[in-house]
Amino acid sequence: MKKRIDKIIKYILKNFNHKIIFLSKSSTVIEYIQNKYGSKFCSKTKFLTIKKLLENISGLNILDDYSTLLYFFSLLKRDDFIKKKFHDFFNWGPKVLNDFQNIDLNQINVEHFFSSIISTEKINKWNLDLLEKKFLFWEKIHEYYYILQSQLFRKGIAYYGMLFKEAINRLDLFLYDIKDTKIILFLVDETAFNECEKIFTKKMIQKGLVYNLCEKNILKSKYFKQNLNSKTRLQYDNLKIIGVSREIEQIKTVENIIYKLIKKKRKNLIKYL
């Protein structure tokens, strides 16, 4: 990978005289470029990880997962949860925070997500005793999603998904303010992008150069642009998000989807015959 980075940097030194921001998800890549080539660029050149840039754009400081979990716990009110649920927080808390991360990183409609999952919970708890007051766990989690974000904003901190979502909201203004600066983004893996990463990377392509260090021909950034607009789009555009609250419901939902697909294929086969 170092040889690939060297090749790119030599190309940039030869062909660019802009202000530059070197950017990567990997701190190792950024440290390597800064240590080896920092003196060859002007003093205004910046070497940043994506997390650091997101902090700069959003005006928030990132909070690690463990600290976020403890802060979330500190906000809970005992009266909002049945006793067992409250004492089991460290079992369900990390899973809920992971849901919050996914909601933010994938730009999911918050109200639609919780409406779906709360409806499922209501169906599961339905009985003939209409006067019985039922505790709905996901109704409370819906409230705490906003409570947590509000309190974190007030303190100027954020968990990663929240940070990324806020940075995306401010990204166009940030890019306008640095319109004379080229951004050089290095991608270091080929994992599927979440929605925030897709938006961010497309904006970086418009603003500068994006190099995928996993590709063989790293100097052809157009290849990556095509790749982002085709393969990545295929990965996401046909996805349908279905909110379910328990593993057994997930299995049942998948079973129903598979059954419908099989039924559809059978109909098509009969038509063909």
User: pLDDT of 30-82, one tens digit each?
Assistant: 999 999 999 999 888 999 999 999 999 999 999 999 999 999 999 999 888 87
CB 200, CB 213: distance < 8 Å? no
Partner residues linked to 182 by β-bridges? 20
Q: Starting from the edge strand earliest in sequence, which strands make up the sheet with 46-49, in order?
A: 46-49, 19-24, 181-187, 209-212
Neighbours of 129 (CB within 10 A): 8
Is a pLDDT exceeding 50 seen at residue 225? no
Average per-residue pLDDT for the chain:
82
For residue 156, give Cα distances in angstroms to 10, 105, 149, 163, 217.
39, 19, 10, 10, 41
Q: Tens of pLDDT along 1-14?
A: 888 999 999 999 98
| Residue (of 225, 15, 241, 7) closest to 109 by Cα position | 241
For residue 272, pLDDT over 80 is answered with no
What residues contact residue 117 under an 8 Å CB cut-off, 6+ apart?
138, 243, 244, 245
Fold of the 2-60+163-236 domain: Rossmann fold (3.40.50)
Note the pLDDT tens digit of each residue in 185-205: 999 876 778 999 999 999 998
- pLDDT for position 104: 97
Q: How many CA atoms within 13 Å lie on the side-chain side of 17?
A: 0
Residue 221 pLDDT exceeds 50: no
Give the per-residue pLDDT at 259.
Answer: 66
Task: Name the pLDDT band for 246 (thresholds 50, 70, 90).
Answer: very low
In this prediction the pTM is 0.75
pLDDT at 249 over 80: no
In this predicted model, which residue has the larger pLDDT, 89 or 246?
Answer: 89
pLDDT in tens, 17-37: 878 999 999 999 999 999 999
pLDDT band at 120 (very low <50, low <70, confident <90, very high): confident
